[in-house]
Chains A and B, each alone.
Chain A
C-alpha cells in the first residue's frame, strides 16, 4: 500500500514537472506572429574588458533584454581575442575598438558590416609625484610623454595582450621611435583593471581608457597626467559575425542588437551613463 502511495505521488510529481516545463516553453516563446525557435532568444556578444569593467554593459543590456526579449551572454576579452572569436564563429556580434583591425575583419568576410557606436578616450596615468614630469612638459602630447617615460627613470606597465589598448600603445611607441624593451617596460598580458592595479603597486605609468580608470579611481593613487590629445581618441564599433560561419550563429538576434544600440534610445542611455557618478559621460555616442 505504501509503495502504491509513493508511486502515485511520484507520478503526480512528474506530471507537475512536465506541465511546468511546457508552460515555461510557451511563455519564453515570442508572442509575435512569427514562430521563432527558442535558440533565437539569446546572443553571444564578444566585447572588450573596458565595456564590462566600466559597468556600461550591466547598465545597457537589461534594457535591451526588456525591449526585445533577447538575452545577451557577454564574453569580455581583449579586442584581438574578440575578433578571433568572431572569426571562429564563436560569437554572434562584436563590440570592439580597433578600427583598422575591424575593417580588415569585415573585408576578409568574417563580419557583415561595421558601424560606429560611441567613443571614449585614453589617458596616461601615473604616480602623483610624477618622476618623469609628464604633467609639466607633455600634458596634452602623448608622443612626447612616451619619450619622457623612456628617458626618465620611470616604469611603464603595458597590457601586452593584443587588446585594442595594447595596439594603440604599440603605435605610440612606434611614432616616438622607441623600441619598448628593457627593465623599465613591463608587459603584463592582463586586462585593464589588473594593469592599473599593477601600475599602482609598482608606482609606474600606464595607458588606460578613461572609463576603467574612473571606475577604479577611489582605490588607487594614480592620477591622469596626459589627456586631450587627438591621438588618444578611441572609437568603438559594432559588427555582426557572418552567419555563414556555422549553423549556430544567431544573425537575427545580432541584427536586432545592432539596430537597438545604434538607435536613439540606446544612444541616449550611453550619453547618460556615468554622469551622476563622474559628472561627465564615460562614453560619447556617435552612431550616424
Chain B
C-alpha cells in the first residue's frame, strides 16, 4: 500500500517539476497517438460511410474482416509492421525501424478497423432512413450526403474517440516497432512496462496516473465537442 501512496506523491511531484524527460515522453505519446488517429480517420470515416450505404459483392466478407481486425492484438500489428519495415523486410530501404514514424504506422493499422467498423455500424442503422427523408424533401445527391454526415456526427466522434483510446493505451505494437529508445521513441506505456521490469514501481505508478489523467481530459474535450452544436 505504501508503494502506491508513494506513487501518487511521485506523480504530483513529476507534474510540477516540469522534468524535461517526463514531458518529452508525454508529448511523444500524444503526438504519435493523435497523428495515428487523425490519419486513420482520414481513411476510415469515408470508408465506413461508403460501406454503410453502398451494396456490392462480397460486402459481407469485407465487413466480417473489419470486425475481426477491430480486435486485432496490438502485438500482432506490431510484429507485422516490424517485419515489413525492418532492414530485411520489403520496406527496409526506408530506414523506418525504431522511429516515431514506425509507431504511427503501427497504431494507424490498429485504429483504422475500429473507426471504420463504428462508422459503418452507425451508417447502416441511419442511412436508409436519412435517404428516405432526403428523397421526400427533394434533395440531390450532394445534399443527401451532407445530411447524412450531419446525422452521423455522433457515430463519427464515437469512432474517433474509441480509436484514439486504443492508440494511446496500447503497448505491444509501439514496443516492437519503436523499441522504447530513451528520448526518441519512449512513450508512456513503454515507460511503464520498462519501469516495472526495473522494479521502479513508484515512477511506473506516477506515469500511469498521468496517462489516465490525460485520457480523461482528452475524452472530456471530445465528449463536449460531441454534445455541442
Contact = CB atoms under 8 A, between A and B. Distances in A.
Interface of A: 77-78, 80-81, 83-85, 160-162, 186-190, 194, 198, 200-202
A201 B177 CA distance: 11
Given A85-B199, A186-B184, A202 B194 contact: no
Which 6 pairs between the two chains have the least Cβ-Cβ distance? A84-B199, A187-B182, A189-B194, A81-B199, A186-B181, A162-B198
Contacts, number: 52
Contacts of A85: 199
Contact of A186 (B182, B190, B191, B197): B182
Contacts of B194: 161, 189-190
B141 interface: no
B164 interface: no
Interface string B155-199: 000000000000000000000000111111010001100100111
Contact of B180 (A77, A190, A201): A190
B175 to A, nearest CB: 8
Given A201-B86, A202-B97, A202-B98, A190 B198 contact: no
A78 B199 CA distance: 9
Contacts of A194: 179
B64 interface: no
Interface string B102-144: 0000000000000000000000000000000000000000000
A160 B182 contact: yes
A78 B197 contact: yes
A190 B179 contact: yes
Interface in B19-56: none
B200 to A, nearest CB: 8
A60 B143 CA distance: 74
Contacts of B198: 78, 80-81, 84, 161-162, 189
Given A198-B98, A202-B97, A188 B197 contact: no
A188 B194 CA distance: 9
Interface residues of B, number: 18
Contacts of A190: 179-180, 194
Contacts of B197: 77-78, 81, 161
Interface string B65-102: 00000000000000000000011000000000110000
A111 to B, nearest CB: 15
Contacts of B179: 186, 188, 190, 194, 198
Contacts of B97: 201-202
15 contacts: A77-B197, A78-B197, A84-B199, A85-B199, A186-B181, A186-B182, A187-B181, A187-B182, A188-B179, A188-B182, A189-B186, A190-B194, A198-B179, A201-B86, A202-B97
Contacts of A202: 97-98
A201 B186 contact: no
A81 B199 CA distance: 5
Nearest to A182: B183
Given A77-B197, A189-B194, A190-B179, 19 more contacts: A78-B198, A81-B197, A84-B198, A84-B199, A162-B198, A162-B200, A186-B184, A187-B181, A187-B182, A188-B179, A188-B180, A188-B182, A189-B186, A198-B179, A200-B87, A201-B86, A201-B97, A201-B98, A202-B97
B28 to A, nearest CB: 14
Contacts of A83: 199
B201 to A, nearest CB: 9
A161 B199 CA distance: 10
Which of A77, A83, A186, A200 has the largest count of B CB atoms less than 10 A from its CB?
A: A186
A84 B184 CA distance: 28
Contacts of B184: 186
Contacts of A78: 197-198
Contacts of A186: 98, 179, 181-182, 184
A51 B209 CA distance: 34
Contacts of A188: 179-182
B199 A80 contact: yes
A103 to B, nearest CB: 19
A278 B191 CA distance: 36
Contacts of A162: 198-200
